[in-house]
């Protein structure tokens, strides 16, 4: 069998079942992994699998050929007379290999720890509104509305200030004006022929269908849909946020951690654990996000922490959409590279760090 399939099965938890099935029922002769632009009209990665059905265990291959390619163009670049380079994986290596973790950074080093270990309470998604059309407004129209972070593209700097929407957060007294709004919303929702199926059931079964379950806000927010701007945003005012954000709360060394989270080290870590959605868009699931390795601030000297805090103060007011952003990120990287090299006794350069990002996800 020759099969073409989306490449996420190689490096995601849900791909384990497929790997086990291949090994149980036969042999994988080869895997051709195109990390991006596998097709001329799409930026998604893909794999071509060469599989042979074999029931006799003795006849099964012990090694799998892995051809690791950036794009489909890599095939023609070698020419007809030159064989494509490949590496051979044992069955055990096939299950353990991180197919998307080809980086010069040793994320298994004790210099890093999972992001879930640097917070003082569990990371979670933000607040889901009942129906955005009726419960989120650009201005404060109702007494019960609260400031709410909704649109990441409207946030100008690395600190959330006034770029806010308003959430109708009802979980108690409802004013007469708001009650009239809810009656209109209820009528429109019920009369909608195709939308709001689950909400219609909720309206029929629960008189308090409009109640919103607020989640405790965090002092750092991260939007889990990523394009060029892979930014952690400071939320010191503790505004509530929508469910397209992950809520992070850090008690100690907040500014130093803000700098670390916006470093190129963390960018690479995120890119390696996220999934390509096509057209330059990536997404990272919550369970994947909790495991991304980030630099452990406790491994840094107090002098380095102070340097990071000073740069983080500049980062707070830096535009997320200007060239000045990269200059500040570069300052953070220079500080962290020195500590990384000292801890791991190697000589990583900024050039290697930035080449890693280009290899994984060229901007």
The tens digit of pLDDT for each residue in 244-260 reads 999 999 999 999 999 99
Separation of alpha carbons 359 and 355, rounded Å: 6
Q: What is the reported pLDDT for 80? A: 66
For range 294-320, the mean pLDDT: 96
According to the model, what pLDDT value does residue 62 have?
A: 79
**pLDDT at residue 200 in the model:** 87
Tell me: pLDDT of 363 over 60: no
DSSP state of 85: P
Residue 298: pLDDT over 70: yes
Number of CB atoms found within 10 A of residue 209's CB: 18
3-state secondary structure of 98: coil
Residue that is written with structure tokens 């007494």 in the block = 143
C-alpha span between 348 and 331 (Å, rounded): 15
With a pLDDT cut of 90, the percent of the chain lying above it is: 55
Please state, in angstroms and rounded to a whole number, the distance separating the CA atoms of residues 62 and 91.
Answer: 6
Higher pLDDT, 101 or 293: 293
Question: Is residue 223 over pLDDT 90?
Answer: yes
Q: What is the pTM of this model?
A: 0.74
| Cβ partners under 8 Å of residue 278, min gap 6 | 42, 43, 44
Asked whether residue 100 carries a pLDDT value surpassing 90, the answer given is no
Q: What CA–CA distances, in Å, run from 249 to 66, 119, 240, 255, 300?
A: 41, 6, 12, 12, 20
Can you tell me the mean pLDDT for 40-63? 83
Strands 46-53 and 26-34: antiparallel
**pLDDT at residue 81 above 90?**
no
Beta-bridge partners for 63: 90
């Amino acid at each position: 069998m020759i099969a073409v399939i989306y490449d996420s099965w190689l490096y995601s938890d849900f791909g384990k079942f497929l790997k086990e099935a291949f090994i149980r029922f036969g042999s994988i002769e080869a895997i051709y992994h195109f990390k991006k632009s596998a097709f001329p009209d799409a930026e998604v990665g893909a794999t071509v699998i060469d599989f042979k059905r074999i029931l006799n265990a003795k006849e099964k291959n012990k090694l799998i050929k892995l051809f690791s390619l950036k794009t489909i163009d890599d095939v023609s670049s070698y020419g007809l007379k030159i064989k494509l380079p490949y590496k051979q994986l044992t069955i055990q290596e096939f299950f353990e290999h991180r197919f998307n973790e080809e980086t010069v950074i040793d994320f298994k080093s004790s210099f890093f720890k999972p992001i879930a270990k640097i917070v003082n309470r569990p990371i979670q998604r933000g607040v889901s509104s009942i129906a955005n059309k009726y419960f989120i407004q650009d201005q404060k129209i109702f007494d019960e509305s609260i400031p709410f972070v909704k649109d990441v593209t409207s946030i100008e700097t690395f600190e959330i200030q006034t770029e806010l929407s308003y959430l109708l957060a009802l979980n108690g007294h409802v004013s007469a004006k708001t009650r009239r709004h809810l009656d209109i919303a209820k009528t429109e929702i019920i009369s909608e022929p195709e939308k709001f199926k689950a909400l219609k059931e909720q309206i029929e079964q629960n008189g308090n269908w409009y109640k919103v379950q607020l989640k405790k806000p965090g002092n750092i927010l991260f939007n889990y849909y990523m394009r060029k701007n892979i930014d952690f945003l400071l939320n010191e005012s503790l505004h509530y946020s929508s469910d397209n954000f992950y809520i992070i709360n850090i008690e100690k060394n907040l500014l130093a951690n803000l700098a670390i989270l916006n470093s190129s080290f963390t960018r690479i870590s995120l890119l390696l654990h996220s999934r390509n959605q096509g057209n330059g868009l990536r997404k990272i699931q919550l369970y994947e996000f909790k495991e991304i390795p980030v630099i452990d601030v406790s491994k840094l000297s107090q002098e380095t922490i102070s340097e990071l805090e000073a740069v983080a103060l500049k980062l707070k007011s830096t535009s997320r959409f200007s060239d000045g952003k990269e200059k500040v990120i570069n300052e953070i990287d220079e500080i962290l590279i020195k500590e990384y090299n000292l801890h791991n006794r190697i000589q990583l350069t900024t050039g290697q760090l930035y080449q890693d990002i280009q290899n994984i996800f060229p901007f």
